[in-house]
Amino acid sequence: MTMLVGKKAPHFSADAVVNGGEFEENFSLSNYQGKKHVLFFFYPLDFTFVCPTEIIAFQERINDFESRNVQVVGCSIDSKFSHWAWLNTPKDRGGIQGVAYPLVADVNKTIATNYGVLAGKYTYNDEEQLEWVGDNGESAVAYRGLFLIDKEGVVRHQVVNDMPLGRSIDEALRMIDALQFFEEKGEVCPANWEKGKDGMDATAEGVAKYLGSH
């Protein structure tokens, strides 16, 4: 897995579906640079099972993200047409109708590769033919990667789950709160920190003071 924390988020320009059904060409996370934090997440495939629970869960908490000035963006290796079809399929038929944040189409798998979440790699066999070698037999899809990117375009947090393991929206929000607390206060966030709790100075004295009062 590629470690991107502390580095500029890999740039891309790709097709996306925005506002629940509008095609946008040359969509890029750089559109938000200097304006918003971005929560950029990958999921394996459209029209699957765990994926819609996550995608819809992000939408159900979208006000929580917007109140923090955070843009949620999803991405998979499906085409923009597949995204559009899924977005226009009712939930009771396995769709994600009602989701309004952007879904990026990574049909060439270059975005997932650059973010280090593609579940395997392409290689050449003994006959010099290109073939796919999946991790544990996985298809050429993305793991459940999630990246918190600050307003300068730097990755500040990343987590990657295997295919069966859905992510926690509460944890994503907690990490956003922690980053924004640090940006505002200059104090670091200790273990199990939550919004409203004390931070601490990143010094020996600060740690001693924090531990002595908890």
Cα–Cα distances in Å, from 173 out to 56, 157, 195? 15, 12, 10
Average pLDDT of the residues in 174-196 = 94
Structure-block tokens of residue 54: 């996550």
Helices and strands (H and E) in the chain: how many:
6, 9
Q: How confident is the model at residue 213 (pLDDT cuts 50, 70, 90)?
A: confident
User: Does the pLDDT of residue 202 top 80, yes or no?
Assistant: no
User: Does the pLDDT of residue 209 top 70, yes or no?
Assistant: no
pLDDT score, position 14: 98
75 given a catalytic annotation: no
Residue boundaries of the structural domains of the chain: 14-167, 168-214
CA pair distance 35, 40, nearest whole angstrom = 15
Q: Which amino acid is at 148?
A: L
Which member of 9, 16, 51, 119 is catalytic? 51
Q: What is the CA radius of gyration of the chain?
A: 19
Tell me: the pLDDT tens digits for 107-144? 999 999 999 999 998 899 998 999 989 998 889 999 99
Q: What percent of the chain has pLDDT over 90?
A: 83
The distance between the two most distant Cα atoms of the chain, rounded to a whole number of Å, is 66
Residues 6+ apart with CB under 8 A from 139: 119, 132
Mean pLDDT of the chain: 93
CATH superfamily, domain at 14-167: Glutaredoxin (3.40.30.10)
